[in-house]
Structure 1
Amino acid sequence: MLKDKIIFLTGGTEGIGLECAKAYLRSGAKLSIISNNTDSIKEAESTLSGNEVLFILADVSIFEEVEQAIVTTIKRFGKINIIHNNAGISNPSKALHDTDDEEWNHLFNVNVKGIYNTTKAGLSELKKTKGNVLNTGSLVGEIGQEIHAAYSATKGAVNALTKSMALDYAPFGIRVNSIAPAGVWTPMLRKWSAEQPNSHVIDSYLANIHALGYCPEGDVVADACVFLVSEQARFITGCIMPVSGGAELGYRRYADI
């Protein structure tokens, strides 16, 4: 489905991003994977190896580093067909009044400004290939989440940004979509689980919020991502696609478990 496509994937060394990288490679793509974590890159290199993958150490919140990553990708592969903005953070687990300026700014700089940076740096390449952009959002951007005010706000921004970008870039043949998981077992979610006040019931909670009855691994999201960036989704743009096992039909509170 993705033969000869070059994908610029941020946050592709662990969690959902790593599962997407695996799925993209299986589908025939070549990858430029951006991460700001050297250890994470080393671990991913042991899983994803070969000439089809380029790893770049860069911080998506810093435009100059993203711009250089785009240049490096073009030098290696000659083009970019897809930008997948997957890099994101969820901490801290706090209500708005408990969130300090540094925490607020860090969340927005990574989760939202990261998309701003990759789009500014990579748009000219996407115009050449009539490519597409995929943003990793979250169901909380639509329905909110307790003690995650800043994180939910960033994902709500991603939803609105996705739709606005879809309108702005449609004249160039560029599609822009977003994927919106609910709970997905990733290293970030496991860390989040341990930090919650009711950590002893989190496993049951995460299973029960999904109508299908379980919290999935990242591969279910990766499969949907392959579809959205492929030609099979060629007439889909501005879509916020839930991959959530029906969680959007109604989250259950801890007390309901």
Structure 2
Amino acid sequence: MLHNKIVVLTGGAEGIGWECAKAYAKAGATVCILDKNEIPIDKLNELKPGQKLALSCNLTNENEVACALETIIQKFGRLDAIHNNAAIAHPSKTLDQTSNDEWDLLMNVNLKSILYTTRYGIEHLKNTQGSILNTSSMVGSIGQDNHAVYVATKGAINALTKAMALDYASYKIRVNAVSPAAINTPTLQAWSQEQPEKEHIEKYLNRLQPLGDMPGGDVIADACVFLLSNAARFITGCILPVSGGAELGYRTII
């Protein structure tokens, strides 16, 4: 579905991002991972030779993002898709308890990184009539207690996705977002440890989705492959829930 596509993936070292990296490579793409964390060689070797490039990149630093995109263009000559997946969820706090530094870090990682990848990637996407995909979250639509700034960034991603879809439609560039609920990732595990009743949180999360227990990131990756593929060629501005129905109706969760 993504044969010979050059895909930039931010935050691809673990969790949903790593599952997307594997799925994109399996679908035939060359995956260019931008992440501040180094990927161990044995893990990176799960991707086929010639279908991977891992670059250390602080996505809150404009110069580093610009250099990373230039490196990719010099190596591969083009760019077909950008998946803005990088995000942090810490801290788990109400708004009044959030420090200025915590606010700035969440906004910079979760939102400003999208500004930078778009700023330095959009002209190359115009050349290929490419695609942009943003990783949002169900909390951006329905809210979440004790997590104010993270929720704000994901709500902003939903609105930004629609604005970008309109701005770039004339260039045949599609812009969509994927919206997970509870996915069993290192980020969610860390979040769970911050909760007041952390011993009960796993049971709660497993009952959150009507379709069943928390899945792994592969369910999100499969949806992302679709959204970046030609099969989704007439879909843009979509915030696709991949949530197991977590947002549906009143339910008893005990």
TM range (shorter): over 0.9
Indicate yes or no: 2:44 matched with 1:45.
Answer: yes
Instruction: Give the match for residue 96 of structure 1.
Output: 95
Give distance in 2, aligned partners of 1:52 and 1:95.
42
Q: Which residue of 1 aligns with 2:211?
A: 212
The answer to whether structure 1 residue 174 and structure 2 residue 173 are counterparts is yes
1:48 CA drift (Å): 3.0
Query: CA separation of 1:140/1:252 partners in 2, compared to 1, >3 Å: closer, same or farther?
Result: farther
Q: Deviations over 1:28-54 (max 9, x none)?
A: 00011000113x455642433522101
Change (3 A) 1:43 1:140: farther
Match of 2:15 in 1: 15
Deviation at 1:251, TM superposition (A): 7.5
Aligned twin of 1:232: 231
Deviations 1:173-219 (A, max 9, x none): 00000000000000111111112111111111111110112111000
Q: For the structure 1 residues 251 and 56, does the alpha-carbon distance in structure 2 shift closer, same or farther, using more than 3 Å as the test?
A: farther
Q: Give the superposition deviation at 1:77.
A: 1.1
SS in 2 for 1:176: strand
Q: TM-score, normalized by length of structure 1?
A: 0.96
Q: Is the 8 A contact 1:136 1:180 kept in 2?
A: yes
Distance 1:241 1:29 in 2: 22
Alignment of 1:73-222 (within 5 A): 73-222=72-221
Percent of residue pairs bearing the same amino acid type: 54
Cα deviation, residue 63, structure 1: 1.2
The residue type equivalent to 2:105 in the other structure is H
SS at match of 2:247: helix
Runs of 5+ consecutive residues of structure 1 not aligned to the other structure = none
Asked if structure 1 preserves the Cα contact closer than 8 Å seen for 2:209 and 2:245, the reply is yes
Structure 2 residue matching 1:33: 3-state secondary structure: strand
The answer to which of 242-251 and 209-218 deviates more is 242-251
Which residue identity does 2:18 align to in structure 1? L
- Between stretches 208-217 and 145-154, larger displacement belongs to 208-217
Q: For residues 10 and 227 of structure 1, do their structure 2 counterparts lie closer, same or farther at Cα, with a shift above 3 Å needed?
A: same
Partners in 1 of 2:212 and 2:151 — Cα distance?
A: 23
Matched residue, 2:60 = 61
Q: How many residues matched?
A: 254
Counterpart code for 1:194 = Q
Q: Give 1:30's aligned residue.
A: 30
Equivalent-residue separation in structure 1 for 2:192 and 2:25 (angstroms) = 30
Contact 1:35 1:41 in 2 (8 A): no
User: Which structure 2 residue ranges, 5 or more long, are not aligned?
Assistant: none
Residues 64-88 of structure 1: CA deviation (Å, up to 9, x unaligned): 1111111000111111100000000
TM-score of the two chains, using structure 2 as the length reference: 0.97
* Amino acid of the structure 1 residue aligned with 2:16: I
